[in-house]
Structure 1
C-alpha cells in the first residue's frame, strides 16, 4: 500500500503525553509553565465577545505530573442561544498547515522528497513553470514568492466581503490544480528566499506534492497517518462536503454592513483553501495532535530531526512572530510558544504549546471578518501561558494585516498575525 506507515500508534492522550520525556524538545528541561490567570483569560475572552463574536472559549491543558486542565467558555455556540461548548467541532482554518507539514516531513524522512530541491520535480507535470526553481523548504516557510490565490477569489487582501463569500466561496468547488494556476499567472512576487509573505497557495502545493508522491488522496493520507493513529475521532477532512457532521459550533461571518446580522457561514465547501485550511477538528484533538507533534520521535508523527527543522523559525515582518515549516512561533512575556492560528469564514482558532509540550492552549471564537475579535483572541495567549495580562487593550486597529504597533502595555500585547482569512 502506498504511503507511509506511522511510527507508533498512540491509543490515548495519556500515552502520547507520557512520551514527552524522550523528545528532542524536552531535552532543554524547560521549567513548568506559570499558572494560567483564569480570571484574566475570562476577561480576555469577554473582550472577544464584546467585539462581536457570539461566543469564545479557551482550553488549557498541562501535561506531565500535574495533568491539570482548565476550560473557560463564554457566550453562545449559535444565535439560537445554545451556550458555547468547548467540546464541539469547528473549522480550524490554517491550523491545517501543521497537518500538511507533518505529511511532507514524513515523506522527507523516507527520502521521497528533498526539501532543498525544486518543488516542481515532486508535482504533476506542468503544475509549476520549468523556470521556477523554488524549493519545498522555501514554500513551507512562505519565502518562495508564491502569490496567494485567495486574493483573487476574495477580490482584496485582508478581510473578505460577505458578498464575495456567497458568490465564490460557500458553494463553489475548486480543484487544487486550478487554485495553483490562479497563483502562477501572477508570476513569482520576489526572488525566492529573500523575503517572507504568507501564501495559502504554498500549502496547496505541498498537499499536491503529498498526493503525487504517494498516489493517495490528501484526505486518505491525513486519516491514515495522523487521524487514526492518534485517535483524533473528532477530526476530519471532507472537502468539498459542505456540512460538519456531529455536534459543532456554528460559525458567523461579520457582515460588511455592520448594521446587518451576522451571516451563518458554517456550511461551505472549503475547497478554496483545500490542504491550506480545510480541516475540521476540536480542542481536544488539537491538543492531542500538538502534544504528539512536539514529542518528536517519541510522539510517532515526525522524527526529532524533522521537528528540529519544522521549529527552526525565521523572523517575519511582524514583531514577535517567526515562522518555520508549517509552524509559527510567538514571543510572549514569559517565553516563546509554537503552533498556528487559523481564520476561515465564521471561525477563529489559535493552537499553541510551550516548546516542551508541557502546556497547550486552544483558543476559539465563532466569528470572522472582525479585526477586533482577532486581536482580542490572540492576546488571550498571554494570560493563558504566562499568568498575567495587560491592564488594558490597545486601541482597535482599522485592519488586521499584522502591521500593528508592538510593545504596547509593556510589550505584552501581540501584534495580530498576517493570516487574516485562513
Structure 2
C-alpha cells in the first residue's frame, strides 16, 4: 500500500502553481499527503513524506530537464528544496502529534496549517526566495495556502472516514440479514427434528408394546435370541438409542439458538427487506433471469419473525426453481381481518392436480439436481405447513398452468404482536 500512496502523492505534485517569480510552487499533493497520513494511521509519517518528496524531485527533474539549457545535476539542484519541504512537513507532522487531534477539527486544521506554513518557510529560506521580496506579501500567500490545504486535508479525511463507515454499515446489515435467514432455517430444522423425535417416541412405544404382547403370548420365548419377542425388544432398544441421539442434537441446537436469537420483535417491513436481500442474491446466482417483487403493509411487529422468514424463504425458493427463464414472482404480506396473509405467486408451469394433494407430505418431491441427479429432500413445503400450523395458521395452494399461488394465513394473536402502527 505504501508505494501506491507515495505514487499518488507524487502524481498530484505535478498539479501546481507558481506564486512568485522563481522555482517555488504550491501543489495539491500536500493536501493529499496529509489526508492519507491521517486516514491510514499505520503509515510511517517521516518515511512516507520523505519518499514522496524524493519521487516528486525525480519527476520534476525529468520533466524540466529537456526544456532548459542546463545539466541534469543543475536541474536536480533547482528542485532539491522541494524535497526539503516534504521532509520538514513529515517531521513537523510527527513532532506535533497531529493524529492525536482527529476528533478536534479546529485544532487539526491549526496543526496542519502550522506544518504547511513552517515547511514552506523552510523551502523559501533554502531557495533564497525571500530576498528582495515583500515579506508581508509572501507570508500572506503562504499562510492562506497553508490554511486552505489544511481545510482540504481535513475534509478529505472525514470524507474517507464517512465512506468507510457507510461501507461497514452496509456490510454489517448484509451479515445481519444472512444471520436472520440462517437462524430461521435452523429453527425450522429444529422444529422438524422435534416432530421426528415425537414420531420416534411413538414408534418405540409401539415396538415395546409388541414385545410385551409377544412375551405374554409365548412365555419363555425371550430367552431365545431369534424369537419374535427378543427381536421386538431389540428393535425397541435401537429406537431408544436413536431417540437419545435426536435429543442430543436438538438440545445442542437449542443451546446455540438461545445465545444467538433475540426475543425482540421486528417490523414486518424490516424482515421483508431481509428476505428480499437474500432472495435477490440467490436469484442472481441462478442461470435464468427472474423478476421478483415484494409488497407489505408494514403494520405488524412480531417476535415470531424467524418462522415467517423460513416460510417465505421456502416458498420463494420453490417458486424460483419452478419458473422458466424470464419468470415473474410476486411476494406479499398484508394484515387483514386479524390475520397476516402471506402470498407467493409465480407464472411457472403449475402443479398437476394429482400432485397438489401430495406436495405437503414429507419427502415428496418432483425436483432433482441436473448436476448430481439426486432428488430433492421434499421437506420445504412440509416445513412450511408445519410452521404455519405451529402458529395456528394454514397454507393453501391454487395452481393452474401459468400461475401458482401459495397462501399462508396466520392469526395475529399467535404472532406475539408487540405494536401496530396507527
Q: Under a length normalisation based on structure 1, what TM-score does the superposition of the two structures give? A: 0.19
Q: Under a length normalisation based on structure 2, what TM-score does the superposition of the two structures give? A: 0.19
Q: Which has the higher helix share?
A: 2
